[in-house]
Structure 1
Amino acid sequence: MKVFKDILYRVQIEAVVGSTSVSINKLQFDSRKVELNDAFVAIRGSISDGHKFIEQAVNNGALAVICEEIPEQIVNGVTYVEVKNTQQALAFMAANYYENPSEKLKLIGVTGTNGKTTIATLLYNLFTKAGFKVGLLSTVNVKVGDKAFDAVRTTPDSITINAYLKQMNDEGVEFCFMEVSSHGIDQHRTTALEFAGGIFTNLSHDHLDYHSSFVEYRDVKKRFFDELPASAFALVNTDDKNGQVMLQNTKAQKYTYALKSYADYKAQILENSFTGLLLKVNDQELWTRLIGSFNAYNVLAIYAAAELLGLETLESLKIISELNSVNGRFQYVISAEEKITAIVDYAHTPDALKNVLETINNIRTKNEELITVVGCGGDRDSTKRPKMGHIASALSTKVIFTSDNPRTEDPDKIVEEVEAGVEPQNFKKVTSVTNRKQAIKAACQMAKQNDIILIAGKGHETYQEINGERKDFDDLKIVNGFLKQLNK
């Protein structure tokens, strides 16, 4: 039990009805989960308004209600606290409830359109190999030391974040690396967290189903850096024009990394092949198993962050050279006889798809076909669909458009919107197979000796979401199975 007034520290309170000296059990923002003596926070969401469920929460036993508008019907014995923004209030309350766990470790946030998962996960692996106890909050999973938990979303809600951070405190975790999404920033899920550093990767077309414009999307990302304390570092990619924008108003110590422009941390690609990259990083040569120029940026970011966090340079370089790719990020298998290479990558934005395809084209001899299987998710930003179609058809020798996670949308309609981006000179390259498994099978049947298949969009995901139901689906397992059948 926690004294209610103690967990209201730093919350901007407009009005109070009742006593804040009561003791509460847990914080909840889902009225269905409320139990006796819990505090219910009424969140105005995009789908539903938690204020409509205050009565239900009280009936379930809520002792306190935090809301933006105190209801007309007041229940005796229940404390009502009115605030300007319940999402922001929840963030402070969650941090206070769990005794501000972010202050007791070094929390590093990674934000940007592409590369968040790779950078956060590689930093977790790097510092773990260096002998530290480390935490991870990522799209793929959550880790507390060597314990792994399933991740529900890129940036969890404030209660979940602080609960995991408290668990990390209890386990003696020293560093935690966390993906920070634009949704998470906008919805105040990261408010009240004490960050020791922030990393900006890049910014490109994504999430415009949520943000009203690209400028708004950019400015939400910038807010993360605006709120960093002076004791933190802000590390940004200045080959992206938005890198300097992130630094404009930050109080944090400013550092830059780049491949093409002047920066504090500079890298040059010396060799690029399907076995890895040879880089020159600030006058030091570094071999990495990661592939492609986009991964050169990721490696440079983790090298810079490791140095800023005090890891010795030679130790850092040695461990980076031993790191493997992250699940679903340029993972590949090669068929035994035909030597067909199948690559699975999470690329689900136009920029990410372009990066992966350009990487493959820079490495391949052009004597082989590049067959791309790609689609777009349903109930998400539809404006990127023709762009994905244009990029895939322009940079591949053959393309199969298919389903990603159609969710509640008609998958055939999504495929048609992707097809709309194909230019006339590329029509003959394109086939559409809505069933994703059949599309992957078709790609394997098309492929000849030494050809390359790229299966893009889902990466690490082991499910396909159709009409609200998640069905088992693993791109890597499926393509590997079909390739093995070819050898029989």
Structure 2
Amino acid sequence: MEAGQGKSLATLVANIEKLEITGSSDVTIQSLILDSRKVTTGSLFIALRGTQTDGHQFIATAVKAGATAILCEELPDQISSDVTYVKAADSAQVMGLIASTFYGNSSEKLTLVGVTGTNGKTSVATFLFQLFRNLGYRCGLLSTVQNQVEDEVIPSTHTTPDAIALNHLLATMLEKGCSHVFMEVSSHAVAQHRISGLHFAGGIFTNITHDHLDFHKTFDNYIKAKKGFFDQLPKSAFALVNVDDRRGSVMVQNTNARVETYSLQTLATYKGKMISDTLAGMHMEINMREVWFRVIGRFNAYNLLAVYGAAVLLGEDPEVVLTELSILKSPPGRFEQFHSADHIVGIVDYAHTPDALENVLQTITELRNGNEKVITVVGCGGNRDAEKRPKMAAIACKFSNRVILTSDNPRFEDPNDILAQMQKGVPPLDYKKTSVIEDRKEAIFTAYSEAGPGDIILIAGKGHENYQDIKGVKHHFDDKEILIEAFGNYPKS
């Protein structure tokens, strides 16, 4: 029998405080369900108050479909004598605790490390996954790009899945022999209690800049959400923070975990220094040891420091870790390079925040040898934080010889409205070097047509994504495929 099947309701709620139970807790729960259309006999239906819908509206539907129990924040007007009702102050938080127990508290049997921050989460989690596999461990990965159990890839739809899906994935990873799991922890996941009930061996903070204000409303709320992850860490865990980010120390103010630090600029447990950086690789010093890495850029120097620190904190030999790190490659869509037959360099990167875009463009600027042009193709997603749109355009103009503003994932917004907001950030002196081409494929082809030998084209914003989200429909679109089509050849290694 799989972990998570046939648990009594009494067992699931045994250690949860302040619950009101109407009906018998001596019933067997076979499944945890958020969607009332999927309810069957033996289901515990969980009524969540979401941003789009309120699950409480579907309690009657769930009861009619045969739900054995209901978790809710407000009891319905009509109570069925055949159903047990569990009332909680916060259904989402309690769901996480129940899901953890339902799936055998898998996180306690795994070495689970969470990575949070605005930028770098995917790279750090993926590097850790690759590193520990190379060190001989069976590993799981939970990331924006994909969820992975060893070589088996499970498509990802959110940075962090809901608590039920997350605990099911962890149970699956445990059943398949994984000892280590590395996961991105988004601010949404913390705010919505998706990680409630999980036991972390360590947490890593990369950096924090303006993002997701459409959800959090204020930057303060965003910071509190990130900090909430470290507030939950146990004494047995480590909290590894980037102290070059001025909010690094804020993250760990109230944590019970052991605090460790990494830095390129000041004293830290794990101290790095960049010696040289080229399109071929990066030469770095880490804790007085010099190493050459395949990945490049200052932002990756921070990522490597975080990975090195976490690996050492997990008990790995420092020399072995550095050796293995030196051969790692960037995750898909993270500063991924392509080269045309006529010596034009194309870079595809997920940079979709002002800070990430600036980091990537600064890196490109530092890598230039002479008069190479930098042509940037960039857009902004719809139904997301609109404040960053003019900032993104301004940053693109600051570091580029040529800028093409284009569509990203417009979702339910008019892409031309998004582009008009981006244009507001273009300085008057940069009007002539900036174009607006709403069709993303045409924008990429135009960038290539205007490039010459040695020039660098940055296509920013979508990275690993292979779709465009337009009015609720995901249409196939892959920046890498379009770039390769424009180049007319395959990428060189």
The TM-score bracket by the shorter chain reads: over 0.9
2:100 to 95, 100, 124: 95
How does 1:47-446 map onto structure 2 within 5 Å? Answer: 47-336=52-341, 338-446=342-450
Displacement after TM superposition at 1:259 (Å)? 0.3
2:50 is equivalent to residue 45 of structure 1:
yes
2:474 to 459, 464, 470: 470
Instruction: Output one character per residue of 1:258-296: Cα deviation in whole Å (capped at 9) or x when no partner.
Output: 001211111100010001110000010111111100000
What's the counterpart of residue 21 of structure 2? 16
Displacement after TM superposition at 1:485 (Å)? 7.4
Instruction: Output one character per residue of 1:8-50: Cα deviation in whole Å (capped at 9) or x when no partner.
Output: 1333344221101011210011111111220101000011100
Aligned residues: 486
Instruction: Determine the C-alpha separation between the residues in 2 that align with 1:144 and 1:168.
Output: 6
SS at match of 1:286: strand
Question: Given residue 97 of structure 1, which amino acid in structure 2 is its aligned partner?
Answer: F
Q: Which moved more, 1:142-151 or 1:57-66?
A: 142-151
Instruction: Output one character per residue of 1:460-484: Cα deviation in whole Å (capped at 9) or x when no partner.
Output: 0011111111111110111111111
Indicate if the aligned counterparts of 2:115 and 2:121 stay in contact, CA closer than 8 A: yes
Q: Which moved more, 1:221-230 or 1:13-22?
A: 13-22
What's the counterpart of residue 3 of structure 2? none
Q: Which moved more, 1:233-242 or 1:362-371?
A: 362-371
Q: Which runs of 5+ in 1 are unaligned?
A: none
Instruction: Report percent identity of matched pairs.
Output: 50
Indicate if the aligned counterparts of 1:70 and 1:82 stay in contact, CA closer than 8 A: yes
Indicate if the aligned counterparts of 2:208 and 2:245 stay in contact, CA closer than 8 A: yes
Indicate if the aligned counterparts of 1:18 and 1:78 stay in contact, CA closer than 8 A: yes
2:478 is equivalent to residue 481 of structure 1:
no
Indicate if the aligned counterparts of 2:340 and 2:489 stay in contact, CA closer than 8 A: no
Instruction: Output one character per residue of 1:336-370: Cα deviation in whole Å (capped at 9) or x when no partner.
Output: 1x200000000000000000000000111241110
Q: CA RMSD in A?
A: 1.2
Q: Which moved more, 1:354-363 or 1:476-485?
A: 476-485
Instruction: Determine the C-alpha separation between the residues in 1 that align with 2:147 and 2:14.
Output: 28
Instruction: Output one character per residue of 1:107-157: Cα deviation in whole Å (capped at 9) or x when no partner.
Output: 000000000000000000000001001111101111112221111100000
SS at match of 1:221: helix
Question: Given residue 177 of structure 1, which amino acid in structure 2 is its aligned partner?
Answer: F
**Deviating 4+ runs (over 4 angstroms):** none
What's the counterpart of residue 26 of structure 1? 31
Instruction: Determine the C-alpha separation between the residues in 2 that align with 1:456 and 1:291.
Output: 17
Instruction: Determine the C-alpha separation between the residues in 2 that align with 1:244 and 1:226.
Output: 13
Displacement after TM superposition at 1:315 (Å)? 1.1
Instruction: Output one character per residue of 1:172-218: Cα deviation in whole Å (capped at 9) or x when no partner.
Output: 21111010000000000011100000000000010000112111100
Indicate if the aligned counterparts of 2:445 and 2:486 stay in contact, CA closer than 8 A: yes
Indicate if the aligned counterparts of 1:37 and 1:61 stay in contact, CA closer than 8 A: yes
Indicate if the aligned counterparts of 1:9 and 1:92 stay in contact, CA closer than 8 A: no
Superposition TM-score, scaled by structure 2 size: 0.97
Question: Given residue 445 of structure 1, which amino acid in structure 2 is its aligned partner?
Answer: S
